[in-house]
Amino acid sequence: MEKYTLIITEKPSAAQRIAYALDQEGKPEKVEDKNVPYFLVKRDKPLIVVSALGHLYTVAHVGKGRNYYPAFHFKWVPRYLVEKNAKQVRLWIEVISKLAQNAEEFIDACDYDIEGSLIGYCLFKYACVNKQDIAKRMKFSTLTKKALEKSYSKPLPKLDFRLIEAGRTRHEVDWLYGINISRALTLAAKRWSGKYATLSTGRVQGPTLKFLVDREKSIRSFVPTPYWSIRATVDLKGTILEVEHEKKTFEKRADAEAVMRTCKGNTGQIERIEERRTQQKPPIPFDLGALQAEAYSLFGYSPRRTSSIAERLYLGALISYPRTSSQKLPSVIGYRAILRGLGKERAYKRLVSILLHVGELKPREGPKEDSAHPAVYPTGNTPDRSLSSSERRVWDLVVRRFMAVFGEPAIKQSMKATLNVNGHHFYLRGKRILKEGWMKFYKPYIRAKEVLLPPLKEGESMELKEVLCEDRFTKPLPRYNPSSMLKKMEEKGIGTKATRADIIETLYSRKYIAEERIVVSDLGFDIIDVLHRYCPGVISVKLTRELEEKMERIQAGNEEREKVLIDAVGILKPILEGLKQSEAVIGKALSEAVQRSRIQERLVGGCPTCHTGKLMVLYSRKTRKRFIGCTNYFKNICRTSFPLPQRGTVKPLHKPCTGCGWPTLIVQMKGRRPWTLCFNEGCPKKEERRKRLAMQMLQQRGNK
């Protein structure tokens, strides 16, 4: 068989795109071996493009059994050996190994970042048997034909071993932390209660949960402070406008009421009119964090969702590589060519033509740089398939932001008229945009509102129509949401752009946190309490950041992997000894927390019959069927019970029924849309529905 070059990508869709881009006729042959697809590409010399499925190798414990710690010995193994749901990884590795046997050249075309480099390295080292030293590296930021051709014709002569070392160390350190402390917690709880529950924490997970617990504590113990404000309106030639008192807040109710009495029903005079012009610079290009934050605030997408949408857009060659921390757009990406490409889309045609008429295109950039990739930008390609609405939205956001960074500053005018009413000053404020500048490119996503005032003159009189003294209270700090949490992690320098969103999702899946505006569960509180008492280092931001810095130094070639690992073990040893010594106390605290959390999950709401008990999802000992019952049943006080569907899952919704105010549940069954269940037989909504159905039946009979 003729020798060929083996190109390995990170995902199947990237393999397909690379194969189509590199084939001389643009028609590579797709072959499937054991259901693993790869592509035969015709060029000056034959190529085979095959993909991984993300990480095919992982860190695993050397030794048997899971019921002990510390576990400091590890090795890299195929994922199917340690993960239940990774059976297909075996086939993938077998096919790649087979393809490697006849290959004479090897090229790593995985994403150019820590994870991508590590995926490629593991495959060349283990699946292709020590080919990591002869493998070359394709480096690209977009999957467009032009970028792929260029990176194929000029590959880097070898893999980026510094990046790989940093990646390996990160995985190994995280494994050491995660496996040991999670095992310590899980085993402590299991040995105390005899029941198994997965309790996990990690190097980044612990400090992240700590931020949330601290915020939750401050919210739950918050006592508001009262203050008062004066709200008034004026009648300006028939238009009612709101004015604000010069003193925004009054600490004493009596003071505010005195002002209100003095001003009520009086007429004021405009003493002064001030106008101010301000320039608002264009926004800076998106890095991943900024894109996630903007998509959350505009569309409510979680950071993980935005990240996966952006990944799909990248694989579709519509945007550049999204996992970047750069806020720079170098000119080599070809601004004009991208704009010309975007101009083919009707929605952008007019905006693009404005920018193409600008003499020199210069983007506004932010300070952050990323040596591997520029900021997120559109490739200039237009979609070759129909995009889902969420993909369309994120793509539009990236396109408009890209155009906006080249725009001119916007000019805004703010106006403040000072009104004198019996010696008290009130301000009438207005603002308007004089020159749109960059805003015209980013229009749908601009939140600033204009307040237009009619023409005003100094000395003009106005009657105060309404003067109100409003009770106000200070508010607790806002709850974190997935987006603001991500920002906090970024600000504190913990985790990486690739892992932060997943860590937040893990906290949800472990039931340490719930809801979109994040609420910490009792289990979350207890985990942090235990860690704080017995191993505070694990939730320390300082320690995590120090490790992050060490890994950055490995990437820069200033630190050795072995030393960082030895340091990590040195830190872990005393922590684990401490945990072992207090195992009984920790086990008791955690078991009780798990039990409380399980009960909490089944609580539906207050009992509408006895008003003292709580309704709960229970299981009959005799029939094993589930039903809703009152907790006072066991005290022989209340015998309230309601039947439940026996198929699918039921979860308390913690929202009252809009018809009767009773607690509700959400029922999920395979193949059906989830629905909200009100178990009150006398609910007016149910009655309404019954009547409607009866009417429909009657009508149908009449028609027949």
> Which run of H or E residues covers position 234?
strand 226-236
CA dist., res. 642 & res. 640, Å (int)? 7
- CA-to-CA dists, residue 438 to 354, 376, 396, angstroms: 11, 18, 15
Q: Interior CA angle at 481 toward 476 and 486, to 5°?
A: 120
- 607-646 binders of other proteins (CB under 8 A): none
Query: Would you call 321 a catalytic residue per the annotation?
Result: yes
- Enter the tokens of residue 136: 């070359």
- CA-to-CA dists, residue 499 to 145, 349, 494, 496, 630, angstroms: 29, 37, 10, 5, 43
Mark residues 513-542: x for contact with other proteins by CB under 8 A, - for none: ------------x-----------------
CB 289 within 8 A of CB 490: yes
CB closer to other proteins out of 254 and 332: 254
The interface region with other proteins, picked from 185-193, 417-425, 468-476, 664-672 by CB under 8 A, is 468-476
Q: Is 221 in the site for other proteins (CB under 8 A)?
A: yes
CB closer to other proteins out of 251 and 687: 251
Shortest reach from residue 628's CB to other proteins, in Å: 25
Sole binder of other proteins in the list 30, 66, 248, 253 (CB under 8 A): 253
CA dist., res. 82 & res. 10, Å (int)? 21
3 state DSSP class of 184: helix
CB 268 within 8 A of CB 465: no
Cα distance from N-terminal residue to C-terminal residue, the chain = 74
The closest alpha carbon to 315, from 11, 610, 599, 585, belongs to: 11
Shortest reach from residue 221's CB to other proteins, in Å: 4
Query: Residues near 602 by Cβ (< 8 Å), separated by ≥ 6?
Result: 616, 617, 618, 652
For other proteins, how many residues bind (rule: CB under 8 A)? Answer: 20
CB closer to other proteins out of 377 and 525: 525
Mark residues 322-351: x for contact with other proteins by CB under 8 A, - for none: ------------------------------
Q: Which residue has the tokens 């997943």?
A: 502
CB closer to other proteins out of 476 and 684: 476
Sole binder of other proteins in the list 161, 227, 427, 627 (CB under 8 A): 227
Catalytic residue among 57, 152, 296, 321: 321
Q: Is 225 in the site for other proteins (CB under 8 A)?
A: yes
The interface region with other proteins, picked from 46-54, 252-260, 279-287, 682-690 by CB under 8 A, is 252-260
- 575-594 binders of other proteins (CB under 8 A): none
Q: Is 222 in the site for other proteins (CB under 8 A)?
A: yes
What is the secondary structure of 446-460 as a DSSP string?
-----B------TT-
Shortest reach from residue 225's CB to other proteins, in Å: 5
Shortest reach from residue 168's CB to other proteins, in Å: 41
Q: Is 251 in the site for other proteins (CB under 8 A)?
A: yes
Mark residues 199-218: x for contact with other proteins by CB under 8 A, - for none: ------------------xx
Q: Is 598 in the site for other proteins (CB under 8 A)?
A: no
CA dist., res. 314 & res. 376, Å (int)? 10
Residues in touch with other proteins (CB under 8 A): 217-227, 251-254, 473-476, 525
* Residues tagged active-site: 321
